[in-house]
Chain A
């Protein structure tokens, strides 16, 4: 036995394993294929049915980002919940007993996956734009906002997956809780003010559309802190206490 074998595997290695896990199962592989196909479909539809000012690189890319941001959170959720639904956690946490490191690796893996999805979207949008002969301009700020938009969604998925530890429950909650909160905020006047700071849908809309005000950035910060940060923290506490069976 060499001393090297007795060193703790580094986070990059753990993240690479988590990344591989997201694509090496039948369900995971097809989920990735579906995400790419949807991005391609949305570009084609936009070129066929959209107006002329939508047939440029930036609006095409924005559409791929929006459609992928619908499904990528599910991928983030499954990345976590499959450890319980498929009971692979028994092996994972036996090999990596410091459980928080597994989650850190999953967060990194999910982020890398998001960047890959964004890159794929960019390629698809570029092909569409080349066919349509549209405008190629794409601001760095715009690209940054798109990246952030997708990242928040995916990390929210990871957080919900960890907090609920069940695929079905986490997916339902991920989509229902924010909508429920928005409705509450609109119907109950007393909740109107706090709702602005905790409702992610409005600042997220601004994030993808651009021209965000300082208040909107601040609201995005507080909403993300709650729906991603707080939920993840709850999940980590649960993970620490739970028994892996």
Chain B
């Protein structure tokens, strides 16, 4: 049995435990924990500036945490002998030398990893970069082409784990569909994928597990089925204030969602009765289709915006 296989038996492919990072007094990542298993795609979700990239950089040993640990294949990333052969990383597709051609950028990585030259052309084709594009300088690439080059670079060493930061940014709808198929295939072949996004819709289609982060803290995590299961109703009234009061009087907990809607963890009937008893006119009453995750996600983004407006 080789070293890599031995490590498999021990535990998680990626494990983050109580990870924290401060910049001065500002906490960027605050005590977050999650893990990723083989054969799954984990969507790491949060608004811009929530701490996603900082977390991914800490996992990859590029940023030193103030507290907590992150391990990949049960060891710290920095102690992996040849990390590119086990973990494919794409943290920023724009971080490429603009004066180097795409093929050369991949060739450099191939030499470093000790991968045969043939893989470079193979992967260029796999990610849909033509021979002509491969010879062009990266400075002339669109963001979508850079993402494809970055994906090729991440896959070059034949890794079992992929860590991707916003890989769908700049891709067109066809490219996004392609990326989803690629990640699904990778996970189905027992690979582990951790990808971040600031768009719920983007990861919803491909992720098995979701970790939602806001202002450096995890606000929700679990399997997609769990998080997206309908667990309540969305209700709107002509007078939101009165409706909120009526629900409270009936002993129902309501969380404000977007645009005056309320999210209630109760049956539609109970909500309807509470509104009727208080004489509040309802304009909408329906099951929360994404289990409130979308509402939660929107409220995270909205509160960030409010703060930005206040400060």
Where the two chains meet, the residues of A that have a C-beta atom closer than 8 Å to any C-beta of B are: 1-9, 13-14, 16-17, 20-21, 24-28, 82, 86-91, 93-98, 241, 243-245
Contact of A14 among B84, B104, B112, B137 (CB under 8 A): B112
B307 at the binding interface (Cβ < 8 Å): no
> Closest B-chain residue to A14, C-beta based?
B112
Besides A9-B82, A82-B97, A244-B57, 7 more A-B contacts (Cβ < 8 Å) are: A24-B104, A86-B95, A86-B99, A88-B95, A93-B61, A97-B80, A243-B57
Answer whether A94 and B92 are a contact pair too, CB < 8 Å, given A25-B100, A27-B99. Answer: no
Q: How large is the interface on B (under 10, 10 to 19, 20 to 34, 35 or more residues)?
A: 35 or more
Prevailing SS type, chain A contact patch? helix
Please indicate the chain A residues that have their CB under 8 angstroms from the CB of B81 in the complex: 6-8
CA distance A206 to B109 in the complex (A): 43
Q: Judge whether A20 and B108 touch: CB under 8 Å.
A: yes
Contact of B85 among A1, A17, A82, A87 (CB under 8 A): A1
CA distance A2 to B4 in the complex (A): 9
Contact of B111 among A20, A28, A97 (CB under 8 A): A20
Prevailing SS type, chain B contact patch? loop
Q: Judge whether A3 and B2 touch: CB under 8 Å.
A: yes
Answer whether A86 and B97 are a contact pair too, CB < 8 Å, given A243-B57, A243-B63. Answer: yes
Q: Judge whether A90 and B62 touch: CB under 8 Å.
A: yes
CA distance A240 to B225 in the complex (A): 42
Q: Judge whether A245 and B4 touch: CB under 8 Å.
A: no
CA distance A151 to B170 in the complex (A): 44
Q: Which of B84-111 contact A (CB under 8 A)?
A: 84-86, 89, 91-92, 94-100, 104, 108-109, 111
CA distance A236 to B172 in the complex (A): 42
> Closest A-chain residue to B84, C-beta based?
A95
Q: How far is the CB of B198 from chain A (nearest CB, A)?
A: 18
